[in-house]
Amino acid sequence: MSKGFFITLEGIEGCGKTTQARLLADYVKKMGRSVVLTREPGGTIIGKRIREILLDSESKGMDSRAELLLYFADRAQHVAEVIEPALADGAVVICDRFTDATTAYQGFGRGLELELITELNEAATRGLMPDLTLLLDLPVTEGLKRARKRNGDNDQGHEGRFEEEPDEFHEKVRQGYLTIACCDADRFKVIDASGTVEDVQAKIRDKVRFPGI
């Protein structure tokens, strides 16, 4: 049986990760590998309920530590129920956001202690880290324009708690992601996400090299 392989996609709001993750999953499937496409928050039934609490605009007053712990509750369930079993079965797991999102948003964005995030992450994931992380990088103004349009078009306005944050928050998140990527250059591939969907997917496929592909 092939060994499992764990790929995560990261980036600011509106960077196109969800579309790109879907296209990448189609590509990997065509190459004959079994694929599990999933996301955080919300990759399990329990996680979907946590996602509603986290992203609802009505959750405006949420304390940043309560927010942090809800992301980790979602992740612990997701790793145990979906990611670890799929990797053990030899699948390629493609996950739309994972650990680095917590470091970028709650660490760099909200200003919570990075050491605390690392420790809680270790507990939630039992040390599981992605084999490859694709960071789709985009200027904040461009990303937010896309994200706010998408939420209006798809009636996802109720998931808008993070889009309602000021541009400075998203700038901290973007710089946070670039910092994390710089510190872990073996795992990360930074991809310019400002082109067309096809251009960005071509760049991604160029970077994805793992056993069986």
Asked if residue 125 binds ligand TMP (CB under 6 A), the reply is no
**How far is C-alpha 182 from the geometric centre of its chain's CA atoms?**
17
Among 5, 6, 105, 188, binds ligand TMP (CB under 6 A): 105
Residue at token pair 């809680």: 120
Q: Which stretch binds ligand TMP (CB under 6 A): 21-29, 78-86, 99-107, 121-129?
A: 99-107
The CA distances from residue 174 to 44, 94, 146, 168, 206, in Å, are 27, 21, 15, 10, 23
54 closest CA partner among 75, 68, 37: 68
| Min CB(90)–ligand TMP separation in Å | 25
Tell me how far apart the alpha carbons of residues 195 and 32 are, in angstroms, rounded to a whole number: 28
Tell me which of 71, 108, 177, 188 binds ligand TMP, using CB under 6 A: 71
Residues paired with 92 in a beta bridge = 5, 35
| Residue span binding ligand TMP (CB under 6 A) among the ranges 24-32, 95-103, 182-190, 201-209 | 95-103
Residues of span 141-180 touching ligand TMP by CB under 6 A: 162
Q: Does 41 bind ligand TMP (CB under 6 A)?
A: yes
Which residues lie across from 137 on neighbouring strands? 192
Residue choice 101, 117, 120, 140 for contact with ligand TMP (CB under 6 A): 101
Q: Which stretch binds ligand TMP (CB under 6 A): 23-31, 33-41, 132-140, 177-185?
A: 33-41
With a CB cutoff of 8 Å and minimum separation 6, the contacts of 98 are: 8, 10, 40, 75, 130, 133
Residues in contact with ligand TMP, total (CB under 6 A)? 12
Residue 137 in contact with ligand TMP, rule: CB under 6 A: no
One residue of 40, 136, 201, 208 binding ligand TMP per CB under 6 A: 40
One residue of 44, 77, 102, 125 binding ligand TMP per CB under 6 A: 102
97 belongs to the binding site for ligand TMP (CB under 6 A): yes
User: Which residues, including other chains, have CB under 8 Å from residue 154's CB and lie 6 or more apart?
Assistant: none
Q: How many CB atoms lie within 10 A of CB 1?
A: 6
User: For binding to ligand TMP (CB under 6 A), which residues are involved?
Assistant: 13, 39-41, 55, 71, 97, 101-102, 105-106, 162
